[in-house]
Amino acid sequence: MTHRTQVAIVGAGPAGLLLGQLLHLNGIDSVIVENRSREYVIDRVRAGVLEQGTVDLMKAMGVSAGLERAGLRHEGVYISFLGQRHHINFPELTGGKAITVYGQNEVVRDLIDARLETSRPLYFEAEDVSVGDLDSTTPTVHFRYDGAEQEVRCDFIAGCDGFHGICRPSIPAGVLAIYERIYPFGWLGILAEAAPSSEELVYTLHERGFALFSMRSPKVTRLYLQVPPDESIDNWSDDAIWDEMLRRMTTRDGWKPNIGRITQKSVTPMRSFVAAPMRYGRLFLAGDAAHIVPPTGAKGLNLAASDVLVLGRALKGFYGRGSMEWLDEYSDLCLRRVWKAQRFSWWMTSTLHRSPDETAFDHQRQIADLDYLTSSRAAMTSLAEQYVGLPAEVSFESAGLKA
Ligand code: FAD
Ligand code: DHB
């Protein structure tokens, strides 16, 4: 069966779904092709922190009802080291900006609901997805659905299929420059049925390694622990996890996370990765398909959203004005933000984790870094403005949205 559309979107994660919605609002036709099931995509536990700009974008796109109902506005974070927590106040340092904690699962669920309401096509469990004719004006996406071969002919393909997707590897060898850093540790993450014991997130550097306190709702705590990158989750009983969490997080004033039943646990490796340019012919990469940040700066999902704003505007420019100008600018505009987020995520990661090859000097330097950070208004302002998100590359109006 052959379908014809304007933009074929590969991947129904945050990037693909947000793009589909933004195109819909601009009257641009799209087909979204996802290889996993709807349940799998929604249940995958991942990010939780939305920048102010991501929240504003979702509001402007009319997909923020859930976020406004259940999202938790946070006006700061704690940085904890040497047994003491230090608060960094975002609105005070950024002219009123904040972040919102709202699970990526919920974001994806809300975006799928919005997509289904538009009646535009979204295929789950598509098999053997492939892209072709990328350097022509009529690229194609092939896949099998319900046992039948499908072909989508389109003007553009948006590669929103994440780090392990097929779009980036479909670009001929030698076209992309790859920048990569692999960290010698990973994160063990859990969800627990326990009321959050702190209003704000707590990033901890402890002698035994990094730990992070976060949450999902007034009844659910989300916690992370630095572990070796190849650690098997089977090595960690629930008791061992709580023991280690408490050892790293408990502060001298007695603060610690509440304990509860662990309902989900997994280990994630950490890397920094950029593929440039984020385009080949009529294929445009967005989100994790083009770049990965280590999660310490909470930037991954937010970068996916900012790529989509720039790509949506560029496609609007093409269909509205017949101009390739904004599409030609897409990669450079995105990469400026991507590299700043890479630098921030690398800095947060290397300042808060213990490396197997570090020296005593390195550790003292980390402590000094955190001491300076939490005692200098200038340093706190720098962290705050990056954490809540740097200004958008393009205006909402230029992407067809009301601010
Ligand atoms: P994905 O979410 O990976 O979506 C890609 C989609 O494409 C998936 O649905 C996938 O199934 C589909 N796909 C893959 N291959 C194919 C194929 N061949 N055909 C069709 N479809 C395909 N980011 C933040 O901003 N804040 C945080 O607090 C944060 N915390 C994190 C914590 C953890 C533990 C992890 C793992 C990540 C975290 N991130 C965070 C990063 C964030 O989750 C990702 O950056 C985000 O999911 C990127 O969205 P995406 O749509 O680009 O990619
Ligand atoms: C969460 C994840 C992050 O990567 C982070 O830096 C902060 C919070 C979370 O899942 O809540």
Q: Does the beta carbon of 47 lie inside 6 Å of ligand 2?
A: yes
Residues forming a β-bridge with 7: 30, 156
Q: What is the pLDDT of residue 194?
A: 98
46 CA to centre of ligand 2 in angstroms:
8
Structure confidence at residue 45 (pLDDT): 86
Q: Which of 52, 288, 309, 334 is the best mutation target for the ligand 1 pocket, counting ligand atoms within 8 Å of the beta carbon and taking the most? A: 288
Q: Which of 295, 316, 330, 353 is catalytic?
A: 295
| Identified catalytic residue from 24, 97, 291, 299 | 299
- Is-catalytic flag, 86? no
- Give the pLDDT mean for 96-124: 97
Ligand 1 center from residue 240 Cα (angstroms) = 28
> What per-residue confidence (pLDDT) applies to 11?
98
For residues 95-105, give the mean pLDDT.
Answer: 96
Query: Taking the model in full, what pTM does it have?
Result: 0.97
Q: Tell me which residues have their CB closer than 6 angstroms to ligand 1.
A: 10-16, 33-36, 41, 46-49, 104, 126, 129, 160-162, 165-166, 187, 189, 268, 287-288, 295, 298-302, 304
Region 253-272: mean pLDDT is 97
How large is the average pLDDT for residues 113-137? Answer: 98
pLDDT of residue 376: 98
Average pLDDT, the chain: 97
What is the mean pLDDT of the segment spanning 44-70? Answer: 95
Q: What is the 3-class SS of the chain, one letter each residue?
A: CEEECCEEEECCCHHHHHHHHHHHHCCCCEEEECCCCHHHHHHCCCCCEECHHHHHHHHHCCCCHHHHHHCEEECEEEEEECCEEEEEEHHHHHCCCCEEECCHHHHHHHHHHHHHHHCCCEECCCEEEEEECCCCCCCEEEEEECCEEEEEECCEEEECCCCCCCCHHHCCCCCCEEEEEEEEEEEEEEEEECCCCCCCEEEEEECCEEEEEEEEECCEEEEEEEECCCCCHHHCCHHHHHHHHHHHHCCCCCCCCCCCEEEEEEEEEEEEEEEECCEECCEEECHHHCEECCHHHCCHHHHHHHHHHHHHHHHHHHHHHCCCHHHHHHHHHHHHHHHHHHHHHHHHHHHHCCCCCCCHHHHHHHHHHHHHHHHCHHHHHHHHHHHHCCCCCCCCHHHCCCC
Average pLDDT rounded to a whole number, residues 345-356: 97
How does pLDDT run across 315-333, given as a tens digit for each residue? 999 999 999 999 999 999 9
97 is catalytic: no
Q: Going by CA atoms, what residue is nearest to atom 33 of ligand 1?
A: 46
Cβ 48 under 6 angstroms from ligand 2: yes
- Confidence at 403, pLDDT banded by 50, 70, 90: confident
How confident is the model over 193-208, as a mean pLDDT? 97
Question: How many angstroms does the Cα of residue 325 sit away from the middle of ligand 1?
Answer: 29
**Residue 46 banded pLDDT, cuts 50, 70, 90:** confident
**Across-strand partners of 318?**
none
In this prediction, residue 366 has a pLDDT band, given cuts at 50, 70 and 90, of very high
Ligand 2 atom at shortest distance from the alpha carbon of 104? 10
Question: Six-digit token pair at 153?
Answer: 């002919």
Binning pLDDT at 50, 70 and 90, where does residue 37 land?
very high
Which bound ligand lies closest to the C-alpha atom of 74?
Answer: 2
What's the confidence (pLDDT) of residue 246?
98
To the query of whether residue 295 is one of the catalytic residues in this protein, the response is yes
Residue 179's pLDDT band (boundaries 50, 70, 90)? Answer: very high
Q: How confident is the model at residue 232 (pLDDT cuts 50, 70, 90)?
A: very high
Residue 151 confidence (pLDDT) above 80 = yes
Ligand nearest to the CA of 348: 2
Give the pLDDT score at 289.
Answer: 98
pLDDT at 47: 87
Amino acid 61: pLDDT: 98
Span from the CA of 156 to the centroid of ligand 2 (angstroms):
33
The pLDDT score that the predictor gives to residue 124 is 98
Q: Supply the residue whose CA is at minimum distance from atom 9 of ligand 2.
A: 48
